[in-house]
Amino acid sequence: MEEYVKEALKIVKAQASVRNMTEEEIASMVKTLAGSIKDLAEASEETAPAGTAAKPALEPKKAIREKSVVCLECGKTFKVLTKKHLANHDLTPVQYKERWGYKKGTALICKSLARDRRKKMQEMKLWTRRDE
């Protein structure tokens, strides 16, 4: 319970710096805050056990949109879901795709950007040999 008391003391200290408080008010406030913080911490541990998968921000089928891609881990939107962002969630792109049911070949990029890149590659015709 020490960690809860430390957090409660920080809050009470901030409150005491703003207004005058008696010793009884301070002691009472620390006690109630420490109990509340402990209850909140225990409630969050019970609702989200470590072994279960998190609920996605939205359906995986709807995450890849025309102008954006929604990260199913945190709900933020991007044009491209990068390795660097997925590393923040301790995932690789392969793990992310397996976790949310995407095929291996699915690009984690918005549809319009994928279409533009495909068109640019077709214009460049890198598969043909140049005559010099």
Q: Are both 89 and 34 inside the same structural domain?
A: no
Give pLDDT tens digits for 45-55: 665 544 445 66
Whether 90 and 112 share a structural domain = yes
Domain that holds residue 15: 2-47
- 126 vs 132: CA distance, rounded Å: 15
Q: How far, in Å, CA of 26 to CA of 51, rounded?
A: 39
**pLDDT tens-place string over residues 72-127:** 888 888 999 999 999 999 999 999 999 999 999 999 999 999 999 999 999 998 88
Eight-class DSSP state of 79: S
Our count of domains for the chain comes to 2
The structure's pTM equals: 0.54
Least confident of 2-16, 49-63, 81-95: 49-63
Q: For CA atoms 100, 103, 107, 111, give the dihedral sign.
A: negative
Q: Confirm whether 129 is domain-assigned.
A: no
Is the residue at 53 inside a domain?
Answer: no
